[in-house]
């Protein structure tokens, strides 16, 4: 099957979204603490279980996004940078392949 893997990927993504929607509406219905990052959950565990105080924070030496919105914006910029790079290279390869195919067709 020509598009077997693409089909499986789409099924995987749809199943993933379905499980999220089910969990969100049924399991975590009305729970305002749900869906925080696993990094934050791990950090909370350390603070709660070990009476630990971090000895340094990012704010001590670098820029810290002043709000969740700005943090999301910076993550989106990171993803955009990676996405542009991927699109540029794959676009170049696709064009190169098309030109080669056209040239081969002309010669035939």
Positions that interact with other proteins (CB under 8 A): 1-6, 8-9, 12-13, 16, 19-20, 23-24, 27-28, 31, 34-39, 41-43, 45-46, 49-50, 52, 54-59, 61-65, 71, 74-76, 78-79, 81-86, 89-90, 92-94, 96-97
Torsion angle of the four alpha carbons 42, 44, 47, 53, in this order, in degrees rounded to the nearest 10: 90
**Which residues, including other chains, have CB under 8 Å from residue 24's CB and lie 6 or more apart?**
34, 35
Q: At 61, is the secondary structure helix, strand, or coil?
A: coil
Toward other proteins, which CB reaches closer, 2 or 106? 2
| Minimum distance, C-beta of residue 25 to other proteins, in the bound complex (Å) | 12
């Amino acid at each position: 099957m020509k598009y077997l893997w693409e089909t499986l990927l789409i099924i995987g993504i749809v199943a993933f979204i379905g499980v999220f929607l089910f969990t969100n509406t049924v399991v975590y219905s009305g729970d305002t603490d749900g869906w925080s990052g696993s990094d934050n959950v791990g950090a909370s565990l350390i603070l709660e279980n070990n009476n630990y105080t971090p000895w340094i924070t990012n704010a001590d030496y670098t820029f810290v996004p002043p709000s969740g919105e700005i943090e999301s914006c910076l993550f989106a910029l990171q993803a955009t940078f990676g996405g542009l790079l991927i699109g540029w290279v794959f676009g170049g390869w696709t064009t190169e392949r098309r030109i080669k195919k056209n040239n081969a067709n002309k010669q035939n």
